[in-house]
Amino acid sequence: MSHIPQTLLSIIIPTLNEAEHLPVLLADLRKQRNISLEIIVGDGGSADATRSVAEAYGAQFVSARRGRGAQMNAAAEQASGDFFLFLHADSSIDDQKLLSNAVRAITSELREHDRVAGHFSLRFMRGTTRNSMAYRYIEEKSAFNRVNTTNGDQGLLLSKEYFRNLGGFDESMPFLEDQRLAEKIRCQGKWITLPGCLKTSARRFETEGFHRRYILMSMMMGLHSIGSESFFARAPGLYQVQHDTGRLLLTPFFDLIRRMMYEEWGSGGTIRIFYLLGRYIRQNSWQMFFFCDVWLRPLQRAGRYPFLNFHDRIFSPCTNFRIFDAITGMISFVWFMMILAPFFLVADRIEKKRG
């Protein structure tokens, strides 16, 4: 396999009090072969030893306004590589040729398309065996390139020129900057799944509660996708930084939606919001069929997706009508506001008593 000395890859890592986890990633980056690297840490005001850890490993340290989008943009301004790879600080790399293979793959793709970005599939580093099926579902889905399946945990690789043409990350909110850029790329260019896999920490899921975090993520993505941005402006501590997290309580978010229904949306607006959510859910109904394929994976070989194929060929065309969006919207209202909201009202009270 040929060496690639002419290619400089800029690794950009946003941090906020990551002194505990950053050394693992930086040590893994030091072991990468057949590639020239520069490492730039974009820090949002760490109060721990993040800076000294970064500099001890030879990384450039850039101070920035807090918010991952702003931090990565500030670091990218200082980057001189031909390609940028954005990584989270709690990532880990086992394969010493992962990055050289990734650059080779995207360089090859660029011969055919000039607007290409790549991401890795994920493997979670877990401290418990609980929710194994759910983690397996997320891991296998991370190799796909469908709408809303690409985020910063997977590593985002693209050329410096393309990143700057895209205008960098959206800094308007301190979260969802990766999904916004990912969907912008999906609309304007092409995503590829890079060879190999990237390991990422499951610490947020394990600290906050897997199902609680996944439900909140679903609410966030749904409301963001239909343009209900006021939810994010009003949400209490929607996405806390990692070191501030504990058991996630969902009642404040359900209460906020209920207040928005009365104070902001009104009856007509609420019907419209849940109709749009119904359309969003129907458009993402493939994930339920995909889950069945992953669940049955022990009975069928890797790469086979009979349920997903059924969705794409039969179910989706047969349900691509407004009436199904309306029905799905009613079901989502009942599920979230009449089942999940009361359930977590009780569950959160129990959590508070335990705490």
Please state the domain extents for the chain: 8-201, 206-354
Fold of 8-201: Spore Coat Polysaccharide Biosynthesis Protein SpsA; Chain A (3.90.550)
Predicted confidence band of residue 311 (pLDDT cuts 50, 70, 90): very high
Using the Cα atoms of residue 308, residue 211, residue 262 and residue 334 in order, give the sign of their dihedral: positive
Residue in the block written with tokens 């997290």: 245
CB 15 within 8 A of CB 68: no
User: How much is the pLDDT for 94?
Assistant: 95
| Cβ neighbourhood burial of 209 (10 Å; 0-12, 13-18, 19+) | buried
**Residue 119 reports pLDDT greater than 50:** yes
Q: Give pLDDT tens digits for 55-77.
A: 999 999 999 999 999 999 999 99
**Tokens of residue 35, six digits:** 């590639």
The angle at the Cα of 46, spanning 40 to 50, to the nearest 5 degrees, equals 55
pLDDT tens digit sequence for 214-232: 999 999 999 999 988 888 8
Residue with tokens 């969802």: 176
What is the distance between the alpha carbons of residues 249 and 103, in angstroms, rounded to a whole number?
41
Q: Give the 3-state secondary structure of residue 115.
A: coil
Percentage of the residues of the chain whose pLDDT score is greater than 90: 83
| Residue of 269, 15, 298 whose CA lies nearest to 152 | 15
Amino acid 239: pLDDT: 56
CB distance 285 to 320 below 8 Å = no
Interstrand relation of 8-15 and 36-43 (parallel, antiparallel or unpaired):
parallel
The pairing of strands 190-201 and 91-92 is antiparallel
Tokens encoding 291: 């889950």
